[in-house]
Structure 1
Amino acid sequence: MNQISRSILVFRLGILDWSDKVSVILRRLFVALLALIILWWGLLPEIALAQTQTAPPPQRVLQPTKTQTPPVQSSIQPYLNRVIKQLTEFRLDNGLKFIVLERHQAPVVSFITYANVGGVDEPDGKTGVAHFLEHLAFKGTTRIGTENYKAEKPLLETLERLDGQIKTAKANGKKDEVARLEAEFKRVEAQAAKLVKQNELGRIVEQAGGVGLNANTSTEATRYLYSFPANKLELWMSLESERFLDPVIRREFYKERDVILEERRMRVENSPIGLMVEKFIDTAYKVHPYRRPVIGYDKDIRNLTPEDVQKFFDTHYVPSNLTIAIVGDVNPAEVKKLAQTYFGRYQAKTKAVEEIPVEPPQQQTREVTLQLPSQPWYLEGYHRPAITHPDNAVYEIIGSLLSDGRTSRLYKSLVEKQRLALNAQGYSGFPGDKYPNLMLFYALTAPGHTVDELAVALRQEIDKLKTEPVATVDLERVKTQARAGLLRTLDSNMGMAQQLLEYEVKTGSWRNLFKQLDDISAVTTADIVRVAKETFTPKNRTIGKLLSKEA
């Protein structure tokens, strides 16, 4: 049992005894649980709320290509120049864009299909539909994943009709009719299941030497990814183009609905910190869809239909809303030729008009308190601008200074010196960064201390940024860590592909990925004081308190 699994087990059984001789181990496991919940909400672009792995790990793991991380230097321009020489970008006539980066150190290629759509794009009352679609994208096509689609199709249509009738009968209180319809539903579902080739897409990928077949959905994007040996480029083109050209949305729809509902129960309803995070973000936002969980609300998930998912797919999975990154041992000319052959089949469609409501400035402190069987947690968040704002690098540096690892100010003060917390961390860009978001801090109280003590101590560290200029040595250390951390993410084919896409879609150009490195170097102590004064104000503050309650 891994660390995360053990933490969930201990947490759900409610047996955390902090005075026990194993308390140190349990604390670490409990902190791991919060990290899981926070990442699930989409804090990091590469680890989003919902991840779907359909292929079991093969016996031999195909390792991503590794390249030497460039040394931190006064300017990133030399590294950028090398990337420019190796990078090709093109757009098909239907609007679908490709970014291709040559890396010939090993015969491996990583692929990411990036759909510029996530939780924020869902209609009211249809939360969770983006994540649901991601699950169904692994169920195959009219040719993949079925023994006989001609026989399967009418059964899937019957299931959809029966589900609607069951909902109507329940609403009208007709119990006998509900029982009859549910029995018929199970019979037809069993028939349809016999025609399904379980995980055929995953088996094809694995048998061809592919690894890492996965996907994730966040507040603002859905990503589909895996890696192949270099000689399987055309196979990837065929599989991935078919996947979104000819998907069968209805296949195992109701089975996946149950899976997602159980996922929500585990991570929210049965998890005090999961419930706390959901309530906290709902308090911090009033109109922006960041306030809604990517997995969706229970009622919405239950009421989603195949028609809802199909409509969402038809609206948002248009060629001009998709971007694909291919990084590894490839020939750009061959990539372009195959892309035109396979993805050129997509019909050009008008991209949906973005209608995201703007969150009004917060005018006073907001607070939410929950009392649940849990160790006490304290959360504090402040609104900050989007990734495209000129001060984005300043916010990243502030986040690193306060909460990046054991050398951070919060850890040293709250955990090591004052011993008020078992852990204290934070993140800038919660629950996404495409739109104005939050700088979030959170801490787990140490035995004998309260969340109110934590609040005072945390705020003291935050306020120091407004009045005490950061020492040059500390600022340079954090800059070096930030730059090195970003460069490390570019060390693998998959990491490079993901970062190129994030900046291409969210900022308008992948080149801004490298501009961010220079922006980090340019941050001054005066910038930190200025931004801290603007951001860390009482009226811009949201507080979350998870208080202990006897089970």
Structure 2
Amino acid sequence: MKLIIRITLPLLLLSMMAVQASAAGLSERVIEHTLKNGMKILMVERHTSPTVSAWIRFKVGSVDERSDERGVAHLLEHMLFKGTKTLGTKDYASEKPLLDKIEEVAQNLVQEKAKQERGDKEKIKSLQSELSRLESEAGKFVIKEEFADLYSRNGGYNYNAFTSKDGTTYLIGLPSNKLELWAAIESDRMQNAVLREFYTERDVVMEERRRSYDAEPAGRLWETFLATAFMAHPVGQPIIGWMSDLENLTRTKAEHFLKSYYAPNNAIIAIVGDINPQKTVAMVERYFGNIPPGKSVPPVAVREPQQHGEKRVEIIGDAEPELMIGFHKPTLPDPDDYVFDVIDMLLADGRTSRLYKKLVIEKQIATEVGSFSAPGSRYPNLFVISATPRAPHSVKEVEDAIYAELERFKSEPVQEKDLQKILNRLEYEEFRQMGSNGGLARNLTEYEAVTGNWRYLIEHRQKVAAVTPMDVVNVARKYFTRENRTVGFITKKLKEESK
């Protein structure tokens, strides 16, 4: 939460009163319903405008992938825009045999390439040519972007999706009288998704990987930093997958992952806006109720071993210096996680935060500072501090200055007035987030999926309010240690090194 607030006291008090009333009312206004197949619906009735936001959150993300299917959750996010047996195709009966033949050729190609130096180069060339020919032939049946066109023609907006370590979400805003269209499209997608143009889209994702990670020092730093911090737990692996992971992904693997987990029992739907809850439940039951459940997503059993020494990662590239420092920490519902929320806001939340005042304003050794918890929330993660040194100051200068501020937490208890300011900012942020249908739908699905109870929205501020100055001291002493940290930084490539 990086929010700079400049409002007058009367307005702040009015805002606080509004958010308190809103939060209190939310517990009564959220209507829950669970279908027999396990799908959970969270509804909030709002008649401020004739619109509705509908979010579907699948409780499966990149952390749930096996080592031989890394990148599949993100690739499926792309693929589920491609259509179904009735949408996105001119003639599925004629298209399907071609899709089957494409997969047969692609499987042979992947297997031959996996032999690496022992692979038959002529066979690989022949299979690539055949795959290209078949994809071109199958492409004649494809209707591009039919989902998006249908929604757009019916007033849809903010049609999107995203994949994280923790889950995969599909979202849309619509006129409220078009909600049944959403139910028809999304239930069809849940039952009848066709992963057409799979290998073409895999190439698109591979290019995305080259552009955003392989060719970008900042991208390389982030994924190498995480992979270094986590030796064993899959939360440290990139959501997009490593290049060799993508090269070995097949439609068969993706379909298995899809059919196993993208099912009603792993789905949470939030519908917020101009609705009649009783009629909405009946509609969702009608469209989604007969879809069979899939497998429950198993918990990740592996635990990250305790770190016993500092890890350092250097990325040399044609970019300005950057610094990241990460400390292993627990996630909710551990009480220490709420203390880190307090530390985060004290340390780097806005222009009055400790790091901003010390590094950016006073010492002028950095241009930007930030802090956040990453890379996911379902499993223990990192508290990350990031900073951009201001030339000619070095990464080491900035790093040492950050450690000095962290040491203050260990010896100087936070003042009660500073804790109160944090609560005020939290209340304002809650008010802002709940102000839009989409914002509330996102929070409902996110917290229901991660914590198992959307009421975290209400309880979070109460938990933070219980944090004491000594809690901050104890957490700082426990986690802000040399042996618990991973440090990553970019070193700018010198001109003579690039020749």
TM-score by length of 1: 0.84
Counterpart position of 1:53: none
Residues 372 and 547, structure 1, Cα contact 8 Å, conserved in 2: yes
State whether structure 2 residue 343 is matched by structure 1 residue 412. Answer: no
Partner of 1:71, secondary structure, is helix
AA partner of residue 271 (structure 1): E
AA partner of residue 255 (structure 1): T
State whether structure 2 residue 184 is matched by structure 1 residue 238. Answer: yes
State whether structure 2 residue 148 is matched by structure 1 residue 202. Answer: yes
Using the TM superposition, give the Cα deviation of residue 523 of structure 1 relative to its aligned residue in structure 2, in angstroms. 2.4
Counterpart position of 1:549: 493
**Deviation string for 1:472-498 (max 9, x for gaps)?**
333322322233223311111011011
State whether structure 2 residue 60 is matched by structure 1 residue 117. Answer: yes
Partner of 1:530, secondary structure, is helix
State whether structure 2 residue 83 is matched by structure 1 residue 140. Answer: yes
Change (3 A) 1:134 1:387: same
2:457 equivalent among 496, 509, 513: 513
Report the Cα distance in structure 2 between the residues aligned to 1:286 and 1:355, rounded to whole angstroms.
14
Report the Cα distance in structure 1 between the residues aligned to 2:437 and 2:107, rounded to whole angstroms.
45
The Cα RMSD (Å) is: 1.9
Partner of 1:388, secondary structure, is coil
Counterpart position of 1:190: 136
Residues 56 and 445, structure 2, Cα contact 8 Å, conserved in 1: no
**Deviation string for 1:381-400 (max 9, x for gaps)?**
11111122123222111001
Report the Cα distance in structure 2 between the residues aligned to 1:105 and 1:380, rounded to whole angstroms.
44
Using the TM superposition, give the Cα deviation of residue 169 of structure 1 relative to its aligned residue in structure 2, in angstroms. 4.3
State whether structure 2 residue 356 is matched by structure 1 residue 391. Answer: no
Partner of 2:371, secondary structure, is strand
State whether structure 2 residue 271 is matched by structure 1 residue 326. Answer: yes
Partner of 2:289, secondary structure, is helix
State whether structure 2 residue 379 is matched by structure 1 residue 435. Answer: yes
Counterpart position of 1:487: 431
Counterpart position of 1:105: 48
Report the Cα distance in structure 1 between the residues aligned to 2:95 and 2:25, rounded to whole angstroms.
51
Using the TM superposition, give the Cα deviation of residue 164 of structure 1 relative to its aligned residue in structure 2, in angstroms. 2.2
Report the Cα distance in structure 2 between the residues aligned to 1:254 and 1:246, rounded to whole angstroms.
19
Using the TM superposition, give the Cα deviation of residue 360 of structure 1 relative to its aligned residue in structure 2, in angstroms. 2.3
Counterpart position of 2:398: 454
Counterpart position of 1:131: 74
Identity of aligned residues (%): 37
Count of residue correspondences: 483
AA partner of residue 381 (structure 1): G
**Deviation string for 1:23-82 (max 9, x for gaps)?**
xxxxxxxxxxxxxxxxxxxx99xxxxxxxxxxxxxxxxxxxxxxx997325994x43442
Residues 383 and 437, structure 1, Cα contact 8 Å, conserved in 2: yes
Partner of 2:165, secondary structure, is coil
State whether structure 2 residue 302 is matched by structure 1 residue 362. Answer: no
Report the Cα distance in structure 2 between the residues aligned to 1:493 and 1:360, rounded to whole angstroms.
41
Report the Cα distance in structure 1 between the residues aligned to 2:134 and 2:389, rounded to whole angstroms.
52
Counterpart position of 2:26: 83
2:95 equivalent among 142, 152, 155: 152
Using the TM superposition, give the Cα deviation of residue 260 of structure 1 relative to its aligned residue in structure 2, in angstroms. 0.4
Q: Pairwise mapping of residues 343-362 of structure 1 onto structure 2 (< 5 A)? A: 343-362=288-307
Partner of 1:526, secondary structure, is helix
AA partner of residue 97 (structure 1): K
Residues 397 and 479, structure 1, Cα contact 8 Å, conserved in 2: no
Residues 70 and 79, structure 1, Cα contact 8 Å, conserved in 2: no
Using the TM superposition, give the Cα deviation of residue 178 of structure 1 relative to its aligned residue in structure 2, in angstroms. 2.8
Change (3 A) 1:248 1:238: same
In structure 2, the gaps of 5 or more residues are: 3-11
1:501 equivalent among 425, 433, 445: 445
Residues 483 and 517, structure 1, Cα contact 8 Å, conserved in 2: yes
Counterpart position of 1:464: 408
Report the Cα distance in structure 2 between the residues aligned to 1:197 and 1:75, rounded to whole angstroms.
46
Report the Cα distance in structure 1 between the residues aligned to 2:47 and 2:68, rounded to whole angstroms.
48
Using the TM superposition, give the Cα deviation of residue 134 of structure 1 relative to its aligned residue in structure 2, in angstroms. 0.9
Residues 397 and 482, structure 1, Cα contact 8 Å, conserved in 2: no
Partner of 1:479, secondary structure, is helix
Report the Cα distance in structure 2 between the residues aligned to 1:294 and 1:365, rounded to whole angstroms.
25
Using the TM superposition, give the Cα deviation of residue 357 of structure 1 relative to its aligned residue in structure 2, in angstroms. 1.2
Q: Pairwise mapping of residues 148-187 of structure 1 onto structure 2 (< 5 A)? A: 148-170=91-113, 171=115, 172-187=118-133
Counterpart position of 1:29: none
The answer to which of 515-524 and 458-467 deviates more is 515-524
**Deviation string for 1:494-539 (max 9, x for gaps)?**
1101111122121121112111022222322222112111111122
Using the TM superposition, give the Cα deviation of residue 455 of structure 1 relative to its aligned residue in structure 2, in angstroms. 1.1
Report the Cα distance in structure 2 between the residues aligned to 1:70 and 1:275, rounded to whole angstroms.
45
Residues 120 and 356, structure 1, Cα contact 8 Å, conserved in 2: no
AA partner of residue 331 (structure 1): N
Residues 500 and 510, structure 1, Cα contact 8 Å, conserved in 2: yes
Partner of 2:383, secondary structure, is strand
Q: Pairwise mapping of residues 517-536 of structure 1 onto structure 2 (< 5 A)? A: 517-536=461-480
1:341 equivalent among 282, 286, 300: 286
Partner of 1:109, secondary structure, is strand
Report the Cα distance in structure 2 between the residues aligned to 1:544 and 1:328, rounded to whole angstroms.
44
Using the TM superposition, give the Cα deviation of residue 345 of structure 1 relative to its aligned residue in structure 2, in angstroms. 1.8
Report the Cα distance in structure 2 between the residues aligned to 1:74 and 1:386, rounded to whole angstroms.
30
TM-score by length of 2: 0.93
Partner of 1:112, secondary structure, is strand
AA partner of residue 272 (structure 1): P
Residues 400 and 408, structure 1, Cα contact 8 Å, conserved in 2: yes
Counterpart position of 1:262: 207
**Deviation string for 1:340-390 (max 9, x for gaps)?**
110012113441322341112222222122222221111111111112212
AA partner of residue 314 (structure 1): K
AA partner of residue 142 (structure 1): K
Using the TM superposition, give the Cα deviation of residue 544 of structure 1 relative to its aligned residue in structure 2, in angstroms. 1.1
**Deviation string for 1:207-250 (max 9, x for gaps)?**
0111111000000100000011000111111011001110002x
In structure 1, the gaps of 5 or more residues are: 1-42, 45-67
Report the Cα distance in structure 1 between the residues aligned to 2:86 and 2:14, rounded to whole angstroms.
45
Using the TM superposition, give the Cα deviation of residue 116 of structure 1 relative to its aligned residue in structure 2, in angstroms. 0.2
AA partner of residue 444 (structure 1): T
State whether structure 2 residue 247 is matched by structure 1 residue 307. Answer: no
AA partner of residue 540 (structure 1): N
